[in-house]
Amino acid sequence: MTLKNILMAGSFLVAASATTSLAADCGITDGRLSIIGNEFPAIQTVAAAAQSCEGLTSAEANLTADHQTINLPGMQGNPAEYTTAIVANSSIVALINEDVIRPLDDLIAAHGQNIPTNQLITINGQVMAVAFMANAQHLVYRADILEQIGVEPPKTYEEMLAAAEKIRAEGILENPLGGPYAAGWNLAQEFVNMYLGHGGEFYEPGTANVSINNSAGVATLEMLKSLSDYMNPDFLTHDSNATSAEWEAGNVALMNMWGSRTGVLMDSEGSAPQVYENTAVAGPMTVAGGDRPASTLWWDGWTVAKNISDADAEATFKAMAHAISPAILDDTTMGQAVWMIEGYEPAPVNQGVFQAISMGTTPYPMLPHHGLLHTALGDNIADFLQGKESAEQALSDIEAAYMAAAREKGFVN
């Protein structure tokens, strides 16, 4: 089953109703739980449910935006500090490459009979993670501001730029665009999205040899630069949290944002009614006349550390399996994510992710070497956006950095 099929199958499971109470009896008599993961409401829900299990000798969770710099070193010790890492398409690759997570087949056979097969992420014939939600970046917009300027929600990035210019020209907002463009991982992700939208291929066919210094790569960087011209001057410091804060402050009218973040933008906390009542979502945009969405389709799921005792592994598996059971779904949690959980009923806030799935958005590349390219992108795009070098030079720097890392790891000769 392809990743797209996994996501499509899991995202549309609907049952009559959801169980509203969390059962603390998870069948655990011994073992510890220590979670490392990102910090947004859906993952906070999963972590809290896992920690509610009785019988754990200890139960901790470190949810932070810095999770991807912490999870690997935190799982390399013996015993590992963290017994589970909540990961996505990209972040699981580093953990597999460094051999710090264990195959889950034996634990699934013993304790995972109730986990639907469409949630099992199989890599090289072994189950390495259990997915619980789908995610994608898509359009978020202020309906009132677009109505004020007489513009429909943009379906292309070119239309987004035209709307931004009109908003600025009419004196409504000086910097109407936003997005998680923080130098590093976030900025690299924006390149990946936009490059796919331009029809780009990252590697020479059948190889790990990078191939982005081309017309699609140049067009990608130029579009990112054009968008950044309508953003807060400090956009290179804005991750998802900072971008969400800008939105809630009423400083942004249009952005490409993670579906998992939209719930907090549309609730009544943190912003004025004029902002949250007019926050709306739509599908991902296309670019340059293409029909491939300039976005990527993701799953989020959990793993189990390799360097821990069998008792800790079993306890962690049971706690995390409970944490993604239908028991977590209620009126509050339904809108937090596109859950790959039986009983999930779609909420309007999640329509952007549903549209991303229906539009055939490309899954993020789950390749053992792609994390190296993502790092090289994040380290070398900012200079171009700041006008310090040409697009061609930036792409050359990216390819050189990637190839050096790929040779060191043995992916290329």
pLDDT band at 91 (very low <50, low <70, confident <90, very high): confident
What per-residue confidence (pLDDT) applies to 220? 98
What per-residue confidence (pLDDT) applies to 118? 84
pLDDT band at 69 (very low <50, low <70, confident <90, very high): very high
**Location of structure tokens 């806030």:** 349
Contact 352, 259 (CB under 8 A): yes
Q: What percent of the chain has pLDDT over 90?
A: 84
pLDDT band at 171 (very low <50, low <70, confident <90, very high): very high
Check pLDDT > 50 for residue 13.
no
Classified as helix, coil or strand, 246 is helix
pLDDT band at 124 (very low <50, low <70, confident <90, very high): confident
Classified as helix, coil or strand, 379 is helix
What per-residue confidence (pLDDT) applies to 23? 44
What per-residue confidence (pLDDT) applies to 17? 24
What average pLDDT score do residues 374-394 get? 97
Classified as helix, coil or strand, 234 is coil
Contacts of 244 (CB under 8 A, 6+ apart): 257, 261, 264, 265
Q: What percent of the chain has pLDDT over 70?
A: 94
Q: What does the alpha-carbon distance between residue 240 and residue 182 come to, in Å, rounded to a whole number?
A: 8
What per-residue confidence (pLDDT) applies to 212? 98
Check pLDDT > 90 for residue 390.
yes
pLDDT band at 113 (very low <50, low <70, confident <90, very high): very high
Check pLDDT > 60 for residue 21.
no
Q: What angle do CA 384, 385, 391 make, to 5 degrees?
A: 35
Terminal Cα distance for the chain, rounded = 31
| CA 327 from centroid of its chain's CA atoms | 24
What average pLDDT score do residues 136-157 get? 98
Check pLDDT > 60 for residue 7.
no
What per-residue confidence (pLDDT) applies to 89? 87
Could you tell me the two tokens for 105? 């087949």
Check pLDDT > 90 for residue 11.
no
Query: Phi-psi category of 21—alpha, beta or left, where left has phi over 0 and alpha has psi -120 to 50?
Result: beta
What average pLDDT score do residues 371-395 get? 97
What average pLDDT score do residues 313-329 get? 96
Q: What does the alpha-carbon distance between residue 31 and residue 249 come to, in Å, rounded to a whole number?
A: 44
For the chain, the helix, strand and coil percentages under 3-state DSSP, each to the nearest 5: 45, 15, 40
Cis peptide preceding 79, ω within 30 of 0? yes
Check pLDDT > 60 for residue 105.
yes
Average pLDDT score, the chain:
92
DSSP letter, residue 260: G
Q: What angle do CA 396, 400, 404 make, to 5 degrees?
A: 170
Mean pLDDT is lowest, of 33-37, 240-244, 275-279, 358-362, for 358-362
User: How do beta strands 120-123 and 126-142 pair?
Assistant: antiparallel
What average pLDDT score do residues 267-282 get? 95
Contact 303, 84 (CB under 8 A): yes
Could you tell me the two tokens for 231? 């953003």
What per-residue confidence (pLDDT) applies to 14? 23
Q: What does the alpha-carbon distance between residue 271 and residue 245 come to, in Å, rounded to a whole number?
A: 9
pLDDT band at 252 (very low <50, low <70, confident <90, very high): very high
Residues 283, 289, 291, 296: is their CA dihedral positive or negative?
A: negative
Could you tell me the two tokens for 154? 């943009």
Residues 338, 340, 341, 342: is their CA dihedral positive or negative?
A: positive
Q: What does the alpha-carbon distance between residue 187 and residue 183 come to, in Å, rounded to a whole number?
A: 5
What per-residue confidence (pLDDT) applies to 22? 43
For residue 12, the one-letter residue type is F
What average pLDDT score do residues 41-52 get? 96
- The residue among 216 and 345 whose pLDDT is bigger is 216
For residue 413, the one-letter residue type is N
Prediction pTM value: 0.82
What average pLDDT score do residues 248-266 get? 95
What per-residue confidence (pLDDT) applies to 12? 27
- The DSSP annotation for 319-348 comes to HHHHHTSGGG-STTGGGG-EE-STT----G
